[in-house]
Amino acid sequence: MFGYYVALALRSLRRSRVLTALMILAIGLGIGASMTMLTVLHVMSGDPLPGRSAQLYAPQLDPRPLQRAKPGQTASHGMPEGFTWPDAMNLLRAHRADRQAAMASGQVPVRPTGTTLHPFFERGQYVTADFFPMFGTPFRAGSGWASQEDDEHARVVVLNAGLARKLFGATPAIGRTMQLKNTDFRVIGVLDDWHPQPAFYAQGNDHAYGRDDEFFLPLSTALELKLDITGNFSCWGNGGDGRSSDHCTWLQFWVQLDSSAKARAYHDFLADYWRDQQAHGRFPRPANVQLPRLMDWLAQQQMIPGDLRLQLWLALGFRGVCMLNIVGLLLAKFLRRGGEVSVRRALGARRRDIFAQFGIESAVICLAGGMLGFALAELGLWSVRQRPDGYAQLAHMDIAMLLGTFALAVGASVLAGLLPAWRACRIAPALQLKTQ
Amino acid sequence: MKLHPVLASLTRHRLTVLLLVLQVTFTCAIVCNVAFMIAQRIERMQQPSGLAER
């Protein structure tokens, strides 16, 4: 019976080609637009470190004075975006988490030696030793450094694969020397193209998408050499604006806590630290420690641009209009065939047979529309990738997203086809046949 | 012009009328919103920068 209905549907569709083409086009456009935007949002709200993110926490302290009315300098959730140098070092030395690291973003001139390349600026991170094991960075060769080298302000650097290739070509980079802003650094590790998206470890803003950090060197070394940092550097009071001042927030701090019991213990430790600092005349605000997990922290930072959300809603609205159109067109098409329905009913077809026949016909149209929609979505994603925004390069469809959205889209379209089919199967055959 | 037959035919096909009204409503809402947003963007893009750009 199913095969017969499909054959009937194809025959009926062939009879009115223009109408069929219009319906398929409408479904295709609706599905294509919404799938494009859903995919973009899906890749942007993905987990940057799958498997590890549940154990990573971003502690938040607030060392600022009570009066601070200047808007725009705090994150949206009311906490400062960073740590001061003394606080980060205290937490680092306390060593109360399984792993902990402080970090800051920077940009330094690279002077290639022995090649014809001109000097160029490169972005990277100044980090402490635990950064590499904590985030599970994949090493192509070599390794990170130990905390001893942090204390010694060692001139060592870990490169990402892109910069290593640019500087040293195919030859192994380990043990080679490179010059960063007048200082020689020894390459001790090469990462395997590590680009988590978003780059959560840097300050949370919309630059976090598509950013590629090409080198990692010890934070203490960067401080000693006064290498340039990028990102927010916010100071208050009259304590000067030196980097090691306790009046300036500019560092990021991440900890790894392997169980929720440890997370609670660390939360208490932070609250104790806050009160301890209050005893020393710092941290005038009431203790309000935050310890969000990585994914919660990303949600707090609201990294997904508002424009994108708006575009998603517009695309979904457009899809809704397309669906309404389909319902209208199918209704017109089915009701026009009242004669055919009546004859089949008179010959013994039950209502549910008629319903199945028309349901299958609308499903065939929706499937064809879904295929077209998928092609249009790929086209849409390609056009998104041409945009200059950092997140644009991420816009690729993965299998789960593909199947999920496709099923959702076709399912919704089939549902839209049910109303016309239901209406058609309620045609009174006697009345129709009499008027013919 | 007599309106009565038109209205009478509208009340006969309630589902179709409802569908058409919904379509027009949603299309109008979306198109108007997008048009205003585009107009706002263009306005913002054409703000004088204060520099002799050309």
pLDDT at A112 over 80: yes
Checking if the pLDDT of A208 tops 70, the result is yes
Instruction: Specify the range with the lowest mean pLDDT, choosing from A19-28, A148-157, A386-395.
Output: A386-395
Hey, is the C-beta of A309 within 8 angstroms of any chain B C-beta?
A: no
Mean pLDDT of chain A: 85
At residue A254 the predicted structure's pLDDT band, cuts being 50, 70 and 90, is very high
Interchain pair B19, A321: CB under 8 A: no
Kindly state the percentage of chain B with pLDDT values over 70.
100
pLDDT (0 to 100) of residue A68? 54
pLDDT of A163 above 60: yes
Per-residue pLDDT of A303-321, as tens digits, reads 777 788 888 898 888 888 8
In what helix (H) or strand (E) does residue A177 lie, and over which residues does it extend?
strand A177-180
Q: What is the pTM of this model?
A: 0.75
Helix (H, G, I), strand (E, B) or coil at A381: helix
Q: Tally Cβ neighbours within 10 Å of residue A71.
A: 6
Label residue A73 by pLDDT band (50, 70, 90).
very low
**Residue A150 in this model has a pLDDT that exceeds 80:** yes
pLDDT over 80 (residue A67): no
Does position A203 have pLDDT exceeding 80, yes or no?
no
User: What is the distance between the alpha carbons of residues A32 and A375, in angstroms, rounded to a whole number?
Assistant: 7
Closest CB from B22, B29, B33 relative to A324: B22
DSSP line for A10-24:
HHHHHHTHHHHHHHH
- Within 8 A of B15 by CB-CB distance, chain A residues are 331, 423
Hey, is the C-beta of B9 within 8 angstroms of any chain A C-beta? no
- Residues of chain B in contact with residue A416, where contact means CB-CB under 8 angstroms, are none
Report how far Cα A339 is from the mean position of its chain's Cα atoms.
Answer: 54
Contact B29 A320 (CB under 8 A): no
Q: Say if residues A106 and A228 touch (Cβ distance below 8 Å).
A: yes
Determine the pLDDT at residue A48. Answer: 86
Minimum CA–CA partner of A335 in chain B: B16
Preferred mutation among B18, B25, B27 to probe A, highest tally of A CBs within 10 A? B27
Residue A266: what pLDDT?
93
Domain boundaries, chain A: 2-45+305-435, 53-301
Nearest residue to A144 via CA among A199, A197, A101, A201: A101
Tell me the CA end-to-end span of chain A in Å, nearest whole number. Answer: 28
Residue A51 is encoded by which pair of tokens? 């498997």
Q: How does residue A74 score in pLDDT terms, banded at 50, 70 and 90?
A: very low
List, for residues A121-130, the tens digit of each pLDDT value.
998 999 999 9
Tell me the per-residue pLDDT of A259-286, one tens digit each, with 9 for 90 and over.
999 999 999 999 999 999 999 888 888 8
Cβ separation A317–B29 shorter than 8 A: yes
Supply the DSSP string of A394-412, one letter for each residue. G----HHHHHHHHHHHHHH
Name the closest residue on chain A to residue B29, using Cα atoms: A317
- B32 CB near a chain A CB, below 8 Å? no
- The first and second tokens of residue A72, run together, are 């725009």
